[in-house]
Amino acid sequence: MTHSTPKHTQINNLNRRQFVKGMALSTVAATLASHIPSALAKNEFISHAIGLPKQPILSGTEFDLTIAEQRVNITGKPRIATLINGSLAGPTLIFQEGDTVTLRVKNELNIDSSIHWHGLILPANMDGVPGLSFDGIKPGENYVYQFTVQQSGTYWYHSHSGYQEQTGVYGAIVILPKKPEPVEADHDYVIQLSDWSDENPEALYANLKKMGDYYNFNQRTIGDFWSEIKEKGFSKAWQDRKMWNSMPMSDRDLSDISGATYTYLMNGLSPNAHWRAVVDAGKKVRLRFINASAMTFFDVRIPGLKMTVVAADGNLIQPVKVDEFRIGVAETYDVIVEPDTQAQPYAIFAQAIDRSGYAIGSLTSDASQLASAPEMDPYPILTMTDMGMEHATHNMAGMNNMDNQSSEHSSMNMKKETSHAGHKMSGMKDMKNMDHATHNMGSMNSDPDAAHIPMNMNPNLPQIDVPRKEGPQIDMRAKAPKYRLDDPGVGLRNNGRKVLTYADLKNLYPTRHEPKPTKELVLHLTGNMERYMWSIDGIPYEDAPPLEFKYGERIRITFINDTMMNHPMHLHGVWSDLETGDENHIPRKHTVVVQPGSKISYRVTMDAKGDWAFHCHLLYHMIGMFRRVHIR
């Protein structure tokens, strides 16, 4: 899928079918700090000049938000969306650190609704999760959220009721710091990525339950096999195919829902409508990326420009210069760029992880001149690393060198690999019985992958005992999950560009004196793709007991991903301090992506009493891959 428009495209008559009729769309640049010149007047002029509606920004300490249905037309077919104040995305809310804000939310739907303030540290009854922190907002009723803002940075908000996040209930939050921060920019824009389908969410989910790869139109063909024979020889190609044919998923299962039904949006606009930011040539521009999609990971780059990443999930990090970054669902990244827009417009290009489509915008000095989209990357193919079987393949007859990238992407800060006889496998016929050894998590010392934990992690923490269950809800186990902090992920390895990884994230401020964890909780992310069942430790949310913690205790949470999908895990109410091996610069996040077949660990101080949600942020996984956390 490519964009055929010339590099300098004159935009005179935009297709207004792409817009919410008569209403404002998308977030825009705003006055985001006292030292940054206001971009509001310029953007209102741009909107008027090219026929775009005005774009909503709300700031202050008191806010009125209304959730209601409204007809939209994104793809040329009128559909009903659920919108906040009539805009897609909802208004950008600007808070000031230290202020007490009041948000009056009215529900004009005929079903319950809610708003969750993603990543904000606040009292449990203000968190906005029906059934945990409050009862939800009944039809025709109002709920008043009130809390003191304790942080600064880029965040977002969305419904936590049913599928409303998929149908439009989401928006950006920008919190201005109390003290000046060491990040300077002349322009400041929010870039909110999302996925839209003309199908209703219930139909999407029903289709996935019928067939887990319902929306995957990139399955293997006989032509692929002949190409592999030419590349590898018949014997190796046959062995590879035999092995993958025994798997519960194919090596092309990357996204549950694809561009077959999704249109990918940037600030509420489809690629045809093409969002744009007008900036002065040579000036510093801050772009606040938010992945507000329901199910889509995006790989983001601006061809011709280096991006300096300065914040992750609202928290400042030591600047990292990159060409590209992958942003998981619910994550946020702030970057600084310095475009020479007099020479050319630059494409802000966000391709879906499965390369089935993209969202696009332009950095330009002239709103009528837009950049064309670059060619999308080749379709990514999963490897043994993504299966969590990298070690196992070392001892499998005829399987040597199955993953030619594995040695290059074992995590930096990891101890040297050792071989384990227990990994030897006689065959691949029964994936369901691959790894029962992982059930015994009594100690990290008994973990066959203990040699690969990040340096400076204490491997001897007492384990928190949690129930685990085998059965049809699990169709595979990762045989040799590893920490892969410096692995950019499938489709981004060895692509010739500098790609951001978790190993690059270093807190801007020292963390050496942060408390150390005293216990460890190990959780397996589990699923059955064929039946489209998702769970934690083989137990779906409806059958799972809550996770109980004492107020103030410091816990290491380790995830082992036994599936072939990325899972962005979000723990409400408290921070997740990612263990990278650098004790002095531990990055702080609210959403942590667990790569396929991998493990990852972070520390949590349980400093917020109440009941909190803990879940995968992929909307259609959340139904089962969810836990209640009780801090008492």
Per-residue model confidence (pLDDT) at position 48: 38
Return the beta strands (E) in 428-492 as ranges.
482-483
AA letter at 176: L
Assess if CATH 2.60.40.420 describes domain 392-415+435-631: yes
- Is a pLDDT exceeding 80 seen at residue 394? no
> 304 pLDDT exceeds 90?
yes
Give the C-alpha separation, 313 to 328, whole Å. Answer: 11
pLDDT of amino acid 432:
36
Band (pLDDT 50/70/90 cuts) for residue 383 is confident
Burial degree of 232 (CB within 10 A; 0-12, 13-18, 19+): middle
pLDDT in tens, 354-365: 999 999 999 999
C-alpha to C-alpha distance for 122 and 147, rounded to whole angstroms = 6
Residue 41, H or E segment? helix 40-50
Distance CA 406, CA 384 (A): 8
Q: What is the 3-state secondary structure (H, E, C) of 379-429?
A: CCCCCCCCCCCCCHHHHCCCCCCCCCCHHHCCCCCECCCCCCHHHCCCCCC
> Considering just the CA atoms, what is the radius of gyration of the chain in Å?
24
pLDDT tens by residue, 561-591:
999 899 999 999 999 999 999 999 999 999 9
Whole-model pTM: value is: 0.82
Q: Tokens 């959403």 map to which residue?
A: 591
Can you give the three-state secondary structure of 136-185, one letter per residue? CECCCCEEEEEEECCCCEEEEEECCCCCCCCCCCEEEEEEECCCCCCCCC
- Rounded to 10 deg, the angle between the 234-245 and 222-232 helix axes is 130
What is the DSSP code (8-state) at residue 378?
A: P
Burial of 443 (0-12, 13-18, 19+ CB in 10 A): middle
The pLDDT score that the predictor gives to residue 603 is: 98
**For residue 442, pLDDT beyond 70:** no
- Partnered with residue 439 across adjacent β-strands are none
The tens digit of pLDDT for each residue in 71-98 reads 999 999 999 999 999 999 999 999 999 9
Tell me the pLDDT band of 172, cut-offs 50, 70 and 90: very high
Distance (Å, rounded) from C-alpha 582 to C-alpha 442?
26
Sequence spans of domains, the chain: 9-200+261-370, 392-415+435-631
| Rounded Cα distance, 630 and 513, in Å | 27
Task: Report the pLDDT value the prediction gives residue 389, as an integer from 0 to 100.
Answer: 62
Helix (H/G/I), strand (E/B), else coil: 207: helix
**Which residues are 82's β-sheet partners?**
69
Do residues 299 and 492 touch, judged by C-beta distance below 8 A?
yes
* Domain 9-200+261-370: homologous superfamily in CATH: Cupredoxins -  blue copper proteins (2.60.40.420)
Query: What pLDDT is attached to residue 478?
Result: 85
589-606 in b/e form (b: 16+ CB < 10 A) is: bbbbbbbbbbbbbbbbbb
**Predicted local distance difference test score (pLDDT) of residue 248:** 58
Mean pLDDT of the residues in the chain: 81
Query: What pairing do the DSSP bridges indicate for beta strands 116-118 and 262-266?
Result: unpaired
According to the model, what pLDDT value does residue 214 have? Answer: 64
Provide mean pLDDT across the span 96-120. 98
- Pick from 168, 556, 120, 141: which is nearest to 133 by CA? 120
CB 371 within 8 A of CB 271: no
Report the alpha-carbon distance of residue 319 to residue 327 in Å, rounded: 17
Indicate the burial class of 4 (C-beta count within 10 angstroms; 0-12, 13-18, 19 or more).
exposed
Which run of H or E residues covers position 46? helix 40-50
- CA 99, CA 148: separation in Å to the nearest integer? 6
> Distance between CA 17 and CA 13 in Å, rounded?
12
pLDDT at 596 exceeding the cut of 50: yes
Tell me the range of 39-43, 241-245, 447-451 where mean pLDDT is highest. Answer: 241-245
Q: What is the pLDDT of residues 13-37, one digit of tens each?
A: 333 333 332 223 333 333 333 333 3
The DSSP 8-state label assigned to residue 531 in this structure reads: T
Helix (H) / strand (E) containing 245: helix 234-245
270, 328, 267: which is closest to 297 by C-alpha?
328
Residue 455 pLDDT grade (very low, low, confident, very high; cuts 50, 70, 90): low
Is the pLDDT confidence value at 239 over 90?
no
DSSP state of 66: E
The confidence score (pLDDT) of residue 559 equals 97
Return d(Cα 279, Cα 185) in angstroms, integer. 11
Task: Please give the average per-residue pLDDT across 432-444, as a whole number.
Answer: 34
CB 620 within 8 A of CB 256: yes
68: exposed, middle or buried (C-beta count within 10 Å: 0-12, 13-18, 19+)?
middle
Per DSSP, the residues of 298-340 read EEEE-TT--EEEEEETTEEEEEEEESEEEE-TT-EEEEEE---
**Taking residues 370-398, what's their average pLDDT?**
69
C-alpha span between 3 and 273 (Å, rounded): 13
What pLDDT is stored for residue 70 in this prediction? 96
Choice between 606 and 367, residue whose per-residue pLDDT is larger: 606
Token output for 244: 């993958």
Share of the chain above pLDDT 70, in %: 74
Whether the per-residue pLDDT at 385 is higher than 80: the answer is no
- Enumerate residues 6+ apart whose C-beta is below 8 A from 605: 515, 552, 553, 554, 574, 575, 577
Q: For the chain, give the percent of residues with pLDDT over 90.
A: 67
Q: Using 50, 70 and 90 to split pLDDT, how confident is the model at 422?
A: very low
pLDDT at 502: 98
| pLDDT confidence of residue 36 | 33
Structure token pair of residue 565 = 């999908």
**Domains 9-200+261-370 and 392-415+435-631 are alike in CATH topology:** yes
Which range, of 108-112, 173-177, 231-235, averages the lowest pLDDT? 231-235
The predicted pLDDT at position 480 comes to 86
